[in-house]
Amino acid sequence: MVTRLLKEKIEYGDFQTPIELAEKICCKLVDLGIEPDIIIEPTCGIGNFIKAAANTFQSANQVIGIDINYDYINKIKQERFFLQDTRITIHQADFFQFNWSSLVQEAQGHILIIGNLPWVTNSKQGKIQGDNLPLKTNFKKYSALEAITGKSNFDISEWMLIQIINHLQQYQASIAVLCKTSVARKLLSYIHSQKLYLDYCASYKIDAKRYFAANVDACLLFCTVKPNSQNYFCDVFNNLDEGEFYQIGYHASLLVKDIDKFNSVKDLYDPKPSKKWRSGIKHDCSDIMEFHKIQDGYINGLGEIIDLEETYIFPLIKGSDVAQGRIENSNRYVLVTQRLIGEPTDKLKDLAPKTWKYLEHHAPYLDNRKSKIYKTTPCFSIFGVGEYTFSPWKIAICGLYKKLSFRLVGTIENKPTIFDDTVYFLSFDNEEAANQAFTHLTSPLATDFYSSLIFWDEKRPIKTSILNCLNLSALAKRLSVNC
């Protein structure tokens, strides 16, 4: 049960910045040579960043705070500090409705945008029926399928930062904003994709557990904007005090986690591999499509004991099994209704009548799958299936785990092993080729290559877009030379 206060905290991403952290960040900006003429805090909350910035940057002509929460604004306006400093102006306004263009156009001199934007995604807003959202547009230009299958989910702060960076393009400006580390990278990706102006970028890891009691990777994102400057790199520091850093940036269209490390293995990079990593099967109805074996039959997720033909039932290995090395056998099974995406399923009526009857009986469950991808496909369809699904040998890895753990997987009970959609795999028709590729993929050289690209703080750090960048032939050639 979400209480009103909790709903509001979630809806507005309401993690107020402690004055201690706000002051430390302002001191860091001084060390970086920032001397703003105007300071803007777009979600000022209880005003700690406004207070810290006004104290730190005495030369600033204007300090502007904006927030949607009337109670916060009312409290700020009654505090002596804000009443005595005539440079400070406070507005009660909605970020998504505010005329930022007009405010920025009126600014004279160097602009500093500072603050802590909401830590909440648009999908989370939907779950709590929150309204603190921009108008719904596909602002990242995802394809219909990408948008439907989840890539259109975004952090509210990401959208806000994109608006801010766009408004500042023709000005001398700096941005110093607390956000999720993943959001900082997404902003860099957006700036690169749009070829916007960016003079310098850095991120400084913040202890979110200490300051916000939040279990999330967070950082201070610092950017400077200067017209005609396009520098798409980001220096990454472990904290606000440390001087050592590594640099993320772009190689062609690929965002690289560690530029120096990548440069030592970039000859292995291939944007168009001949052999592709695939994802496991997606069916979105485990109660009906997945089983455990009992004696001579199966039991589904509803606890029903069922009798089905073996034709369309295959052993199932889940992502956690792959990560933990439980790949020799399985008591899990999955019903695979197609060999190709979009293939007609009505042939099951004749080839496997008991299976068809089972599916028809449980059609309400399958018809109620929420994803729109099932709406225009044959009944009982699945995704993530192709001829590669049924190859006897596979090299697999779980995308959710924070470790490069490749597994060589063969058949189980003389049937191809099937994976769930948290697993990525390469398929092989013979054991020798699979063994050779496995040896290469588990080499230190392959580990160095992937480690230079993978951002381990992401929810699903290992992706097919990264796995597919490695040229296996080039890897084999370089390994043979090194032997």
Q: Is 394's pLDDT higher than 60?
A: yes
Q: Is 141's pLDDT higher than 90?
A: no
Q: Is 6's pLDDT higher than 60?
A: no
Read off φ and ψ for residue 404, nearest 5 degrees.
Answer: -85, 95
Domains of the chain in start order, with CATH, are 4-251 (3.40.50.12420), 278-482 (no CATH)
Q: Which pLDDT score, from 0 to 100, does residue 398 have?
A: 97
Q: Is 227's pLDDT higher than 90?
A: yes
Average pLDDT value for residue range 320-330: 95
Average pLDDT value for residue range 278-300: 94
Average pLDDT value for residue range 198-227: 95
Q: Is 440's pLDDT higher than 60?
A: yes
139 pLDDT tier (thresholds 50, 70, 90): very low
Q: Is 40's pLDDT higher than 50?
A: yes
483 pLDDT tier (thresholds 50, 70, 90): low
62 pLDDT tier (thresholds 50, 70, 90): very high
Average pLDDT value for residue range 366-377: 91
Q: Is 301's pLDDT higher than 80?
A: yes
92 pLDDT tier (thresholds 50, 70, 90): very high
Provide the residue type at 437 as one letter.
A
For strand 423-428 and strand 393-398, is the pairing parallel, antiparallel, or unpaired? antiparallel
For the full predicted model, state whether its pTM sits above 0.85: no
Q: Is 37's pLDDT higher than 50?
A: yes
Q: Is 246's pLDDT higher than 70?
A: yes
Q: Which pLDDT score, from 0 to 100, does residue 154 have?
A: 55
> Across all residues in the chain, what is the average pLDDT?
89
Q: Which pLDDT score, from 0 to 100, does residue 272 have?
A: 86
Q: Which pLDDT score, from 0 to 100, does residue 121 have?
A: 56
Average pLDDT value for residue range 138-165: 64
SS3 per residue for the chain: CCCHHHHHHHHCCCCCCCHHHHHHHHHHHHHCCCCCCEEEECCCCCCHHHHHHHHHCCCCCEEEEEECCHHHHHHHHHCHHHHHCCCEEEEECCCCCCCHHHHHHHCCCCEEEEEECCCCEHHHHHHCCCCCCCCCCCCCCCCHHHHHHHHCCCEHHHHHHHHHHHHCCCCCEEEEEEEEHHHHHHHHHHHHHHCCCECEEEEEEECHHHHHCCCCCEEEEEEEECCCCECCEEEEECCCCCCCEEEEEEECCEEECCHHHHHCCHHHECCCCCCCCEECEECCCHHHHEEEEECCEEEECCCCEECCCCCCEEEEECHHHHHHCCCCCCCEEEECCCCCCCCCCCCHHHHCHHHHHHHHHCHHHHHCCCCHHHCCCCCCCCECCCHHHHCCEEEEEECCCCCCCCEEECCECCECCEEECCEEEEEECCHHHHHHHHHHHCCHHHHHHHHCCCCCCCCCCCCHHHHCCECHHHHHHHHHHHC
132 pLDDT tier (thresholds 50, 70, 90): very low
Q: Is 351's pLDDT higher than 70?
A: yes
Q: Is 400's pLDDT higher than 80?
A: yes
Average pLDDT value for residue range 174-198: 95
11-15, 260-264, 404-408, range with the lowest pLDDT:
11-15
Q: Is 144's pLDDT higher than 90?
A: no
Let me know: does 421 contact 463? Beta carbons within 8 Å. Answer: no
Q: Which pLDDT score, from 0 to 100, does residue 98 have?
A: 87
